[in-house]
Structure 1
Amino acid sequence: MTQPRGGLTSAEVSERIGRGEVNDVPPRNSRSAADIVRANVFTRFNAIIGALFLIILVVGPIQDGLFGFVIIANTGIGIVQELRAKRTLDNLAVIGEARPRVRRDGRSTEIPTTGIVLGDLVELRPGDKCVVDGEVVEADGLEVDESLLTGEAEPVLKRPGDQLMSGSFVVAGSGAFTATKVGREAYAAQLAEEASRFALVHSELRGGISQLLKYITWMMVPAAIGLILSQLVVENNDADEAVRRMVAGIVPMVPEGLVLLTSVAFAIGVIRLGRKDCLVQELPAIEGLARVDVVCLDKTGTLTEGGMDVTEVRPLDGAHEARIAQVLRAFGTAEPNPNASLQAIIEAYPPMPDGAGSWRTTGTLPFSSARKYSGAAFAEPDGARSAWLLGAPDVLLAEGDPVLADVERLDREGLRVLLLARAAGPLDGPDGPGPDQDGAARDARPAALVVLEQRLRPDAAETLGYFAEQNVRAKVISGDNAVSVGAVAAKLGLPGAGHPVDARELPAAEEERARQVADGTVFGRVTPQQKREMVGALQSSGHTVAMTGDGVNDVLALKDADIGVCMGSGSEATKAVAQIVLLNNSFATLPSVVGEGRRVIGNIERVATLFLTKTVYSVLLALLVVCWQVPYPFLPRHLTLLSSLTIGIPAFFLALAPNRERAKPHFVRRVLHYAVPCGLIAGAATFGTYLLARRHYSGPGSLTAETSAATLTLFLIAMWVLAIVARPYTWWRVGLVLTMGLGFLVVLATPPLQHFFALKLAGAVLPWTAVGVAAVAGVLLEVVWRRAARRLSPSSS
């Protein structure tokens, strides 16, 4: 191993900072404030609404331009909520940010990633991510996984002089490298600019809304053109009136609030989860976890806590307990970066004071999840030399070895068992110690069994129960012994835990392997590549898969899963590829994430129905007006009032309400099944009332009376749709619907508001006729809604 170096001096660091040779890569976990403002303001529909608002400012009066102020308010709300979500994300990202260790002035210190300068000596330990490019100067069994860069899953052994690429991570050993490329010149930063962190994971919700907006645009163009021409012909004596009614026909076709409310709902979800120390690195991951039907769990760090306790050390083949204790004590001092198992051994066998009777380490073989054991060579106090292995008994011993019977019994009790064995050959031989291909023992002589008890997470059983209630299958996929993993899962009440599967016995045939993965619940002795293959097998069977984990052996599977969830105490490499990081290390936070996803999906489906119903009836009214060659029945102020009371205000509250309904697929199909018939009924009924009013009223002011009657019908039908969408009723939902109805009555009963909104019901016949038409339409709405619900129910699909 290369002699340690002291790294840069403080003066050299200051000099490089002055030259700008710093790792100044901007944070990629959220959009900038400018991007958020731009995305909310400069939209296609805001451009349409803005142009129409300017037209109304020219022809007047101002009350017909109220829709413009509503758009400004909605856009402002969207910007504020997304900025709040950005601040939450940024604050949480600082907490969960990688803090690499650099050596400066001969001392090792942790600094932010952005604090690295060119030439810094960066130290590496298992699980660390290489945050900049560099050249290895120290290596002690340093193995690096470059699969995120090259796609090759096999770890690469690095020696002094080898190149390290940012984006790779350490799976075994330790070392240090000199930073040769920092900031935007580093390889990972160049990749990030091509596909930044904010590049969204697949979102059926956002994709569905985009698809709906495409349909709406196609409907808007011909309807708007026809409406413009017809109103100019019909109202040829009053061009301003024709323009006002033309604008009134186009504005409600635009579901501008739907996009904003979706962004707000996601942003509120980020803020709520942020309060629970849950970092959502990609917003639609909230939605994704709500759609998951299989959760793959890594046992260590997810079902069990990081710490373990040594409960027993069993000497084998006549080995002396005192000597075993000396070896275990030496093992603890040989590894500078102990994993949880070795840390438990160090706590049980701490180093001797003042190094009395100490053994000198002459070589090490770091632990790796693929190898499943570690090794160390020592020079003993009496001058003798020895090499020892510590790892999985079923890997180090030949099949059928009598010791494995005791191991299996301990595994069934949920205990973790390590084998301490004497290695006769060198640790770094081409084949390494352990059994050969025929299962015969090769240079591994058992000395003792080290029995460890794992600490179960107190909240794990409750969380597994939650997933079972929600019909989400939980599968435990671990690198540990299958029987031991099954025993731990059984203690937590996981169904199917009594039949664990050893991944080494999975069939080679892809279809058969996929079937066993789908049927099994607990899998042990799973290699990192097998974890990845299992996730792929489940996805190929049509499952939406979430993968949880915290170790470097989970990275490949986390990257390929639909949703990757990492513990905050996990390795930097794991946190880099996960969409969700549980900074509080609590598995029990996952139900909260699922709940937020269901709230967003269910509520956006509700409000989407409201918005699209308005779009459908607006397009239908425009087409009917063109065909009948009559004035458009409404002014912009009428539809602003109706939209605010029946859609805008209630949709805001409904979008943010609690919702525990299961996430359902086919968002676009579901919304259109409800919205299209409802919109057609509303448009046809409203136009029917309008035609009746045109026959009933005559003389000056008749147009106002006709408009008022049509407005009453449309309001009552829209309220009926709102009442359906608000189900199941709670006190606040009933109060919301009644408040909106009361608001309309206040307008009708208050003379100044009547004048402002140009609404005045004349006589008794037509107003009651309008109510009767709305009642008939309401019955049709109920029939249509129930039929659509039956067609879309899971039992009929």
Structure 2
Amino acid sequence: MESILKEGGLVRNLLAAETLGSTTIILTDKTGTLTQAKMKVFGLYTLMGLEEGVTKVEKDNEYLLSSAILTSDAFLEQKEESDDANEEQIIINGRPIEKAIVSAGIHSGIMQEAILHQSPRVDFLQFESKRRFSASLHSQKGSTKNTLYLSGVPESLLENATHIYYKGRSIVMKESVRKRLVRKQNEMSNNGYRFIGLAYREVGFDSIPTKEEEQESFIKGNTFIGLIAFSDPVREDVFESIKIVKRAGVRVVMITGDNPKTAKQIAIETGIAYKEDKVLTGNDIDHLSDEELYLEINRVPVFARVLPEQKLHIVRVLKDNNEVVAMTGDGVNDAPALQSADIGVAVGSGTEVAKAASDIILINNSFTIITSAIKEGRRIIDNLKKIVSYLLSTSFSEIFVIGGALAFGAPLPLLPGQILWANIIEEGFMSFSFAFEKAEDGVMRRSPIDSLSKSVLTKKIKQLISIISIITGVFLTILYFILLQLGISIEEVRTLMFVALSIDSIFFAFSFKSLHIPIWKVRFFSNRYLFVALFISIILLISSVTLPPLQKILSLTSLSFNEALFLLGIGLFNLILIEVTKYFIFERK
């Protein structure tokens, strides 16, 4: 967890990091996760044409920007006094797109406070994905009617517009003009720009109706003012991060509420999609069965104009098909999908509701943290498999030897006290050190399939444990009966068996350092805790057969130099058998 925190991720659910190691698909939002969330107004587009920049705006564009500020829910806050004269003294609070609008107004001399004084807000309707627009009701000095300003998805506003704002007045919208506006939006969306549309209506009511049907009718017969284009640069590290994730066998799918063309361009820039890939919209999803939707998700890397409830539906369809789903989100409406996903990932700039529903929070909003978390999750799963394989292999070897002796009516090869002491030497320290193993070099080039099992005891792990236990157990059982036939005292035989099992366990630890890499390729010095455990285990083992008090307690005798060499040779032989077994189970293609 500490390594994820260093990267900028806060783990709220301890099982989440482990689950991320099993992830098969990531559903990612666009803004803030793939992009820098440094939204800026790139240009204003009205019937007068496109005006790039906002330092000095033409009259129609001034009205467009003023309307956007009126519909914005962002607000200004005076910063506490600072000694730095160059530091901004005003803080803009709100969503990135609204902050960009208010900031553009400040740079062009259109102050929020001034226009709200001139046209006071009477009522306000928040933006909702389903409705696709926000509305702000304002009174006008010298007029008995109120003006309802609309801000939202350009397609919806344009489709329902009957008039367009031109040179300070409302004129009838011609179909050719509507097509020109759509064409301009599509052209700029292909370059990754995001758009909102602005419109207005003169209304007779003094408060916004609460009924949904009435709210949805607001956009009908509107006067379209124009389009505002926003730029939000892609994060520099995202392309490489997505490349690493894909190489790890994890699919990445963008799911956003943005324009399909904008979404696809960002997906291409980040490596999620190629030019020839198609984009599905929320409307397309509504016409697909669950089976068809799952097939499309496997083919289509970008979903645009998607509603929160459709995100939830996508998550459920994937989970029904045994996918392990990680999903990013930031809004209140994303909370159900974040909670339903196997791993909910909230961005740091998101709402408190989204954060509460998530398992991991991206403090700096970067997708790179997800890559690091997947690597950490795989490391955890790998280390659990190493610990389980090591403990069960050594334990079953002991059981096999003791069981073999009992089956043939021979004396016990180990006394209870010797077994307990051997387990302290073998398992108490050596197995504990595996928890600190670093991620293996090839961990992000492996398919997540090996991690999908609900249990650490996968088929391959079971095979490894069974083969090692049988081979080592049979070999040591034969050795035990040979030693008995040689007429050696039972105390000496037990000492030899005790040391043989202990040496095997110490050697096994280095072999189990990696289940996928042969021992000669393992980075021996990557885990200092293993060497601390090795040092303690060797000291305890030597003390057991050299210190008289311990010899007496454990009923052990001293070993000759030749006997020690002989047991080391047996340990090396068993180590070779383990490496051969590992090769046939894990490495051979």
Do the two structures share a fold, i.e. TM-score over 0.5?
A: yes
The CA distance in 1 between the partners of 2:574 and 2:74, in whole Å, is 81
The Cα shift of 1:600 comes to 1.0
Deviation by residue 1:576-603 (Cα, 9 ceiling, x = unmatched) = 1111122343332222222221221111
Match of 1:281 in 2: 12
Amino acid of the residue matched to residue 104 of structure 2? A
- Comparing 402-411 with 496-505, greater Cα deviation is found at 496-505
> Residues 333 and 435 from structure 1, CA distance in 2 versus in 1: closer, same or farther, beyond 3 angstroms?
closer
Name which of 458, 472, 477 aligns with 1:682.
472
> Residues 315 and 596 from structure 1, CA distance in 2 versus in 1: closer, same or farther, beyond 3 angstroms?
same
Match of 2:64 in 1: 324
Match of 2:301 in 1: 521
Superposition pairs for residues 241-390 of structure 1, below 5 Å?
Answer: 270-316=1-47, 320-332=60-72, 338-349=94-105, 350-351=110-111, 358-383=118-143, 385-390=146-151
The CA distance in 2 between the partners of 1:617 and 1:378, in whole Å, is 82
Name which of 559, 563, 577 aligns with 2:343.
563
Q: Secondary structure at the match of 1:431?
A: helix
Name which of 659, 670, 673 aligns with 2:463.
673
Q: Contact conserved, 1:761 with 1:767, CA < 8 A, in 2?
A: no
Match of 2:252 in 1: 474
What is the total number of aligned residue pairs between the two structures? 516
The CA distance in 1 between the partners of 2:565 and 2:104, in whole Å, is 86
Q: Contact conserved, 2:149 with 2:199, CA < 8 A, in 1?
A: yes
Match of 2:369 in 1: 589
Deviation by residue 1:430-461 (Cα, 9 ceiling, x = unmatched) = 5357799xxxx832331111111124334333
Deviation by residue 1:301-354 (Cα, 9 ceiling, x = unmatched) = 211234411121122389833433443343347989853222221122243666
Superposition pairs for residues 187-202 of structure 1, below 5 Å?
Answer: none
Match of 2:152 in 1: 391
The Cα shift of 1:637 comes to 4.5
> Residues 397 and 508 from structure 1, CA distance in 2 versus in 1: closer, same or farther, beyond 3 angstroms?
farther
Match of 2:238 in 1: 460
Deviation by residue 1:180-212 (Cα, 9 ceiling, x = unmatched) = xxxxxxxxxxxxxxxxxxxxxxxxxxxxxxxxx
Q: Contact conserved, 1:395 with 1:434, CA < 8 A, in 2?
A: no
Match of 1:265 in 2: none
Superposition pairs for residues 534-683 of structure 1, below 5 Å?
Answer: 534-660=314-440, 661=443, 662=446, 664-665=450-451, 666=453, 667-668=456-457, 669-683=459-473
The Cα shift of 1:776 comes to 5.5
Match of 1:786 in 2: 583
Match of 2:268 in 1: 490
The Cα shift of 1:418 comes to 0.9
> Residues 320 and 282 from structure 1, CA distance in 2 versus in 1: closer, same or farther, beyond 3 angstroms?
closer
Q: Secondary structure at the match of 1:505?
A: helix
> Is 1:508 matched up with 2:288?
yes
> Residues 708 and 406 from structure 1, CA distance in 2 versus in 1: closer, same or farther, beyond 3 angstroms?
same
Q: Secondary structure at the match of 2:232?
A: strand
Match of 1:412 in 2: 190
> Is 1:692 matched up with 2:472?
no
Deviation by residue 1:656-712 (Cα, 9 ceiling, x = unmatched) = 1102424523431332211122122222222222222222225xxx12111122223
Q: Secondary structure at the match of 2:213?
A: coil
Match of 1:713 in 2: 500
TM-score (norm 1): 0.59
Amino acid of the residue matched to residue 375 of structure 1? A
Amino acid of the residue matched to residue 447 of structure 1? I
The CA distance in 2 between the partners of 1:433 and 1:583, in whole Å, is 36
> Residues 335 and 659 from structure 1, CA distance in 2 versus in 1: closer, same or farther, beyond 3 angstroms?
closer
Unmatched segments (≥5 aa) in structure 1:
1-269
Amino acid of the residue matched to residue 368 of structure 1? E
> Residues 551 and 703 from structure 1, CA distance in 2 versus in 1: closer, same or farther, beyond 3 angstroms?
same
The CA distance in 2 between the partners of 1:712 and 1:537, in whole Å, is 56
Deviation by residue 1:203-229 (Cα, 9 ceiling, x = unmatched) = xxxxxxxxxxxxxxxxxxxxxxxxxxx
The CA distance in 2 between the partners of 1:564 and 1:553, in whole Å, is 13
The CA distance in 1 between the partners of 2:62 and 2:400, in whole Å, is 90
The CA distance in 2 between the partners of 1:687 and 1:322, in whole Å, is 91
Q: Secondary structure at the match of 2:44?
A: strand
Amino acid of the residue matched to residue 324 of structure 1? L
The CA distance in 2 between the partners of 1:410 and 1:398, in whole Å, is 19
Q: Contact conserved, 1:330 with 1:351, CA < 8 A, in 2?
A: no
Q: Secondary structure at the match of 1:689?
A: helix
The Cα shift of 1:726 comes to 2.3
Deviation by residue 1:103-159 (Cα, 9 ceiling, x = unmatched) = xxxxxxxxxxxxxxxxxxxxxxxxxxxxxxxxxxxxxxxxxxxxxxxxxxxxxxxxx
The Cα shift of 1:744 comes to 7.1
The CA distance in 1 between the partners of 2:576 and 2:114, in whole Å, is 89
The CA distance in 2 between the partners of 1:335 and 1:387, in whole Å, is 20
The CA distance in 2 between the partners of 1:560 and 1:476, in whole Å, is 17
> Residues 435 and 410 from structure 1, CA distance in 2 versus in 1: closer, same or farther, beyond 3 angstroms?
farther
The CA distance in 2 between the partners of 1:766 and 1:750, in whole Å, is 14
The CA distance in 1 between the partners of 2:343 and 2:234, in whole Å, is 24
> Residues 510 and 589 from structure 1, CA distance in 2 versus in 1: closer, same or farther, beyond 3 angstroms?
closer
The CA distance in 1 between the partners of 2:5 and 2:487, in whole Å, is 59
The CA distance in 1 between the partners of 2:238 and 2:121, in whole Å, is 40
Superposition pairs for residues 9-20 of structure 1, below 5 Å?
Answer: none
Amino acid of the residue matched to residue 34 of structure 2? L
Q: Secondary structure at the match of 1:375?
A: strand
Match of 2:86 in 1: none
The Cα shift of 1:395 comes to 2.2
RCO higher in structure (CA 8 A, sep ≥6): 2
The CA distance in 2 between the partners of 1:765 and 1:389, in whole Å, is 91
The CA distance in 2 between the partners of 1:765 and 1:413, in whole Å, is 77
The Cα shift of 1:405 comes to 1.6
Amino acid of the residue matched to residue 670 of structure 1? K
Match of 1:731 in 2: 524
- Comparing 284-293 with 498-507, greater Cα deviation is found at 498-507
> Residues 380 and 317 from structure 1, CA distance in 2 versus in 1: closer, same or farther, beyond 3 angstroms?
farther
Q: Contact conserved, 2:332 with 2:351, CA < 8 A, in 1?
A: yes
The CA distance in 2 between the partners of 1:296 and 1:354, in whole Å, is 42
The Cα shift of 1:276 comes to 4.4
Q: Contact conserved, 1:693 with 1:705, CA < 8 A, in 2?
A: no
> Residues 687 and 568 from structure 1, CA distance in 2 versus in 1: closer, same or farther, beyond 3 angstroms?
same
Deviation by residue 1:743-777 (Cα, 9 ceiling, x = unmatched) = 47744774546556543356799777766665655
Q: Secondary structure at the match of 1:760?
A: coil
Q: Contact conserved, 1:685 with 1:774, CA < 8 A, in 2?
A: no
Q: Secondary structure at the match of 2:30?
A: coil
Q: Contact conserved, 2:121 with 2:138, CA < 8 A, in 1?
A: yes
> Residues 602 and 631 from structure 1, CA distance in 2 versus in 1: closer, same or farther, beyond 3 angstroms?
same
Q: Contact conserved, 1:298 with 1:549, CA < 8 A, in 2?
A: yes
Unmatched segments (≥5 aa) in structure 2:
50-58, 77-92, 161-174
The Cα shift of 1:514 comes to 2.1
The Cα shift of 1:526 comes to 0.1
Query: Percent identity over the alignment?
Result: 23
Q: Secondary structure at the match of 1:557?
A: helix
